[in-house]
Structure formats: C-alpha cells, structure tokens
Amino acid sequence: MTLRLVLVVLTLGQDCQQAQKLARTAYDERRYDQAAAHFAHAVTACGASSPLLLALGQAQLLAQRPADAIAALDRVPTDSAEYVPALKVKAKALYLLARDAEAEETLKRAATRAPSDAEIPYSLGRMYYQQGRHAEAAASFRQATTLDPRDYKAWDNLGLASEALGDVAQAQQHYLKAISLVYKDHPGYDVVYANFADLLIKLGNFQRAFDLAAEAAQRNPGEPRNFFLGGKALLQTGRSDLSVRWFEQAIKLNPDYPEPQYQLSLAYRKLGRIDEADRMLKSFQAAAARAPKERR
C-alpha cells in the first residue's frame, strides 16, 4: 500500500468516526435534522452498515422526514439483526404518511420474524385505536401485556381501548394496573394519570379526577392536557376561581389548544367576567378552526 493510499484510508477512518460522534451527540440532544445529516455522512464515510442505516432512518423519522426514513430503512438487509427494528420504524413512517395498510402489513411481517416482541402488538394496537378499530386494538394491547406483563404503556392503552368499547370497569382496572407499574419505577410517565382523570370526569368523580390530573401535572409540567384536565375537574366542583389558573397554564403551554380556551371562557362567565369570557370564546373559535381535523 502506498503512503498516499494509507493517508486516504486513515482520513476516511477519522471522517467516519467523527461523523458518527457528531450524529450521536445531535441525536441525544434531539437535534434530529442535524443528526440525520451526520448519519447520512457516516453512511457515506463508513459504508452502509445495517446499524447506521437504522440510525439514519430513526433520525429522519424524528426529523419529520418519513419518506426519507423509509428509503434508508429499505436498505437494511433482511438477514441482519437490525431488520426487525427497521421494520418497526418503517411502520411508523408509513403511518405518518397515511399509508395505513402498508404500515399494518409491515408490523405483521415484523411479528412473524419476532413473535415474542411486545412492542409490535403494542404498535399495532396504537394504529388500530387511532383508526377506531377498538376491538382489534384491545386484542393487540392484551397480547402485548401477555408478552410483557410490565409493559405499562400497553396496560394504559388497553384501558383506553376498553373505555372506547364501553367497558368502564375494565378500563379502570387497566389504568390502575398501569399506575401500579409506573408509580415508583417510571416517575416521568404522566399519560395514564391523565387518561384516568379524563374517564373519571366523564363519570362525575371530579375530586379524584383532579387528584390524578394534579399528579400528571407534577410528573410532566410541560404537558398542557394535564392542566386542562385539572382545570376541568375544578370547574365541575364549583371552584371556578382555581380552575382559571389551570386553564391559563394549559393555554400558555400551547396557545393553539382549543379545549382549555373554551373551558376558560365558561369559568370567566361563572365568575361574572363577561368581557373576558367573550374574548376567550372568540380565541377558542379561532384555535378550533386552526386545529387539524385528523391527528396521527
């Protein structure tokens, strides 16, 4: 090997390592556009290995570039260890592109290759739930909890599916199971507390609903839904003055969130603050008009 060729090889090796380091750092810092660019450079500098293609696809998906993610993930060989993880990420990308049938087929292909992977029926359940296929969603979430009895997200979502099917008693039991799993071991998980609070508001158990929403807000103070539900529960118990602060915080976190604006207009009206109520009602109508008709 000539000296020049040795220098080229060394330079490429350094470039490969540097690109991967920059990509991992950007990914960890949630700078997904930059991570995707660095991973793409790493694929060129290091070669299109399965781990790098998977990492590239994941970064592109999180950078809201699902079509690019699919193109990268389709390059992962079927005989590699990364093939099933690539299928799982690809299914998410397909779903974001509203290619639901392909996403479902991709997940089922992954399940054939990895029948003990609880994440696959969980992902299928999430897709079925969003499509309104609640019985199939419940069956998928139940399969996920069978494969992994400590899958708290599956228990939480099994509660949602059971609630949608009208089985309120089962829904409450599933929410309580999820709470038992996250109470100590997953202190940052707030969603089940909010989901349970939402159900209890519908059932008229407003004080318990507020307690759950307050726990959700403490666990995740950056989630506007937690404050919306807390305010809604307070409003229903007649504590309109206290509910105002909760609705205002929800709106501060997300000015485009319509529901707390409507509820805040009700609270203002009950407090005799009519001008503010009218102004907030107009704000709600504008936010509702801007809101996407379908959330994926």
Domains and CATH numbers, the chain: 14-115 (1.25.40.10), 190-296 (1.25.40.10)
Average pLDDT in the 114-134 region?
Answer: 97
Do 268 and 232 meet the contact criterion of CB atoms below 8 Å apart?
A: no
State which H helix or E strand residue 114 sits in.
none
Distance CA 143, CA 121 (A): 7
Return the SS3 of 25.
Answer: helix
Q: How confident is the model at residue 8 (pLDDT cuts 50, 70, 90)?
A: very low
pLDDT digits (tens, 9 = 90+) for 221-264: 999 999 999 999 999 999 999 999 999 999 999 999 999 999 99
- Can you give the pLDDT at residue 171? 98
- Can you give the pLDDT at residue 15? 85
**Given its phi and psi angles, is residue 30 left (phi above 0), alpha (psi -120 to 50 degrees) or beta?**
left
Return the SS3 of 77.
Answer: coil
pLDDT digits (tens, 9 = 90+) for 133-157: 999 999 999 999 999 999 999 999 9
Name the CA dihedral angle for 130, 134, 137, 142, rounded to a multiple of 10 degrees.
140
Q: How far is CA 215 from each of CA 190, 202, 221, 227, 235, rounded to the nearest angstrom? A: 8, 18, 10, 10, 18
Taking the whole predicted model, whether its pTM rises above 0.85 is answered as yes
